[in-house]
Amino acid sequence: MSFRFEDNLPVITFIGKMSLIEVLTLIGLVQGVMLSVGLVVRNKGKKNQNYYFILLITGISLALLAKLLFSAERYSQLPQIWFVADTMAYLIGPLWYLTIKRSTEPKIKFSWVDGMLLLPILYHFGFLIKIFTMSVEAFAVYESGADFIQSFYWFSLSVIAVNGGFLLRSYFFLKHFKGSSFPQTLVKGQQALITVTAFWLGSFIWNVFGDGSLNTQAYDAAFISLSLFTFGMAFMGIVKPASFYFLTQTYNASEEYALEKLAKDIQKHLEEYQSYLASDFSLQQLATDINANTVLTSKAINRSLKTSFSDLVNEYRVKHFLELVKSDKSKKYTHWALAQEAGFGNKVSFYNAFKKLMGTTPKVYVERQFN
């Protein structure tokens, strides 16, 4: 069977007719699905799994799918389905709260406050049951009445209350762990999630206080923000997969304590023995020097020192280079010669490492500081 370019024209035409919002929604949907599947595969068979974050990404992906498939024709045929999609708005705050609770508690403990925050969801479930028992014709009559408008207003307010309440609970919950090595990923994730949810909740606020055009714009902005969130999370999963550790695994206090102790041993060894002065110094060599394996050594550097092995070593080398610049050797040798003595084996890596740490080139920095 031969392939003809013309066979793909309908697909190209379809994509060409999509609006920018639809394109962004499609990208967010694809990234969300890929991220969910990737996290499930990556954590398959591991102990202490935390699936709430995966459920959160899946819920957002389903909401994006509903947005992408929405049309006036489909709504007129199955209007109830689109109210189920709106129910996804409830998932953001509670599932994020469950994510961070599970990250720190093998068995999640709920308080009466948590129960009170969930009560508005019961109202909406009742609303869904009511409309699902109606025929399409009966729903059309109900939708045009004042009772429906009032019910949808209450739904909008309940979404705001549930998500706002649980995100606030999450904020105070994380404050209890301030100063610990583990929650920084969760804190950054919460900041991103609050930004995204602000757009989402904004669309529901306009349901209550705004006009139709403003509500449509806010609703579109909400889905764009959800798309950007899934895209950002997927991108982070590619460039920094270790960042998902605390989102998909239960926090182990004893392991964190051991890693923090190992991180101190690493710093002590580097400061005392200056092993980084060897240009071929490796993670394997460091692990051997401190009587640890490479996996734990890498974990201690990544999670306790919050850097990579190469960045950590380059930091020590740059500091040693600056000490050499202060000495009499700087009068006899070039900057690159001093950098080689500090352990750098490549001129490009030296300049890149220096600029990353000090914000400028070695020449400019030395001229400013020492001349």
C-alpha distances in angstroms, 296 versus 33, 286, 293?
Answer: 31, 11, 6
Boundary-marking domain end, from 184, 214, 248: 248
Supply the pLDDT for residue 261: 85
Phi, psi of 134 (to 5 degrees): -95, 150
What's the average model confidence in pLDDT over 290-311? Answer: 86
Supply the pLDDT for residue 179: 52
Boundary-marking domain end, from 230, 248, 266: 248
What's the number of domains the chain is made of? 2
| Cα separation, 9 vs 337, whole angstroms | 60
Supply the pLDDT for residue 313: 94
CATH code for the domain in which residue 329 is found: 1.10.10.60
Within this chain, do residues 33 and 163 fall inside the same structural domain, yes or no? Answer: yes
Supply the pLDDT for residue 13: 43
| Cα separation, 102 vs 49, whole angstroms | 9
Tell me the per-residue pLDDT of 25-73, one tens digit each, with 9 for 90 and over.
888 888 888 888 887 777 676 666 778 888 888 888 888 888 888 777 7
**Phi-psi region at 281: left, alpha or beta (left = phi > 0; alpha = psi -120 to 50):** beta
Within this chain, do residues 166 and 280 fall inside the same structural domain, yes or no? Answer: no
What's the average model confidence in pLDDT over 223-240? Answer: 78
| 15, two tokens | 């994509």
CATH code for the domain in which residue 126 is found: 1.20.1070
Whether the per-residue pLDDT at 287 is higher than 80: the answer is yes
Boundary-marking domain end, from 222, 248, 274: 248
Supply the pLDDT for residue 215: 60
- Please give the full DSSP string across 40-63, using - where no structure is assigned: HHHHTT-SSB--HHHHHHHHHHHH
Within this chain, do residues 85 and 152 fall inside the same structural domain, yes or no? Answer: yes
Q: Which residue has the higher pLDDT, 52 or 248?
A: 52
Within this chain, do residues 168 and 29 fall inside the same structural domain, yes or no? Answer: yes
Whether the per-residue pLDDT at 7 is higher than 80: the answer is no
| 255, two tokens | 């392991």
Within this chain, do residues 243 and 260 fall inside the same structural domain, yes or no? Answer: no
CA triplet 257, 258, 262: central angle to 5 degrees? 120
Supply the pLDDT for residue 6: 38
Supply the pLDDT for residue 320: 92
Supply the pLDDT for residue 8: 39
pLDDT band at 12 (very low <50, low <70, confident <90, very high): very low
Q: Cβ–Cβ contacts within 10 Å for residue 325, how many?
A: 19
Tell me the per-residue pLDDT of 135-149, one tens digit each, with 9 for 90 and over.
888 888 888 888 877
What percentage of the chain carries pLDDT values higher than 90?
A: 12
Within this chain, do residues 186 and 140 fall inside the same structural domain, yes or no? Answer: yes
What's the average model confidence in pLDDT over 166-171? Answer: 87
What's the average model confidence in pLDDT over 348-363? Answer: 90
Mean of the per-residue pLDDT values of the chain: 79
Q: Which residue has the higher pLDDT, 121 or 104?
A: 121
Within this chain, do residues 159 and 80 fall inside the same structural domain, yes or no? Answer: yes
Supply the pLDDT for residue 14: 47
Best-predicted range by mean pLDDT (101-105, 157-161, 319-323, 331-335): 319-323
Within this chain, do residues 212 and 280 fall inside the same structural domain, yes or no? Answer: no
Best-predicted range by mean pLDDT (11-15, 22-26, 65-69, 266-270): 266-270
Within this chain, do residues 362 and 237 fall inside the same structural domain, yes or no? Answer: no
For 350, the domain range is 253-370
Within this chain, do residues 62 and 180 fall inside the same structural domain, yes or no? Answer: yes
Within this chain, do residues 79 and 196 fall inside the same structural domain, yes or no? Answer: yes
Within this chain, do residues 174 and 320 fall inside the same structural domain, yes or no? Answer: no
Q: Which residue has the higher pLDDT, 149 or 302?
A: 302
